[in-house]
Structure 1
Amino acid sequence: MINSNLLAVVESAVTDTALGNWQKPLVMFVCNILALLVLSRRIWYPHVGPKMPLPFPALFNNVSVPAFLACMSAGHLLGTIAILTLGVDNYF
């Protein structure tokens, strides 16, 4: 038989981590947009390959699909580091 105290601890831990908030996606979104704005100008060959259909091509340097994926990968890394180091739950 399973101890009811153990179930209470597991249930509270699951519900606390399963509940999301709006700050983490906002930080991730901002980091991705900043990475796209900055890194699209710093990549050596941003126009090699098929073009990415972005809404404002001049703003985002009219990047190709591989450059866009590289910027999004870097943005996710920056966003993850920002969320983990800032402790977004504590500051907002």
Structure 2
Amino acid sequence: MISSILLAAQPTVPYSGAGWSLAQPVIIIGACLLCLLIIPRVVWYPHVGPKMPLPFPSVFNNPSVGTFLAAMAAGHLIGVGAYLGLTNIRYLAS
């Protein structure tokens, strides 16, 4: 037998991220740039291998291809997490 209180409860569903807005790429690009500024300075061997032809090599610490890919992967993970977190707390309108 199902209780009537269980039928009256309405489940809350978090934001699924199905829509698209301009805030998504802005947050992810910002997170990627932040990671590109930080990660080449904390990786043990950031200059091993072929270098990325980035503008302003002194700003980005002239990273190798592997360091660049690691920074972009971390930036995407942080950016997606930040966007989903901000939309889940209803800070960003979807």
Q: Please, what TM-score do these two structures have when normalized by structure 1? A: 0.75
Aligned to 1:77: 77
Structure 1 equivalent of residue 3 of structure 2: none
Letter in 2 for 1:20: W
How far 1:91 sits from its partner (Å)? Answer: 2.5
Cα separation, 1, equivalents of 2:21 and 2:86: 15
Distance in 2 (CA, whole Å) between partners of 1:64 and 1:28 is 21
**Structure with greater helix share of residues:** 1
Matched residue, 1:64 = 64
Output the aligned Cα RMSD.
1.9
What is the TM-score when the length of structure 2 is the normalising length? 0.74
| Structure 1 stretches of at least 4 aligned residues deviating more than 2 Å after TM superposition | none
Identity %: 50
Offset of residue 63 of structure 1: 0.3
Per-residue deviation, residues 3-55 of structure 1 (Å, max 9, x unmatched): xxxxxxxxxxxxxx3x5210010000000000000111000000000000001
Question: 2:26: which partner in 1?
Answer: 26
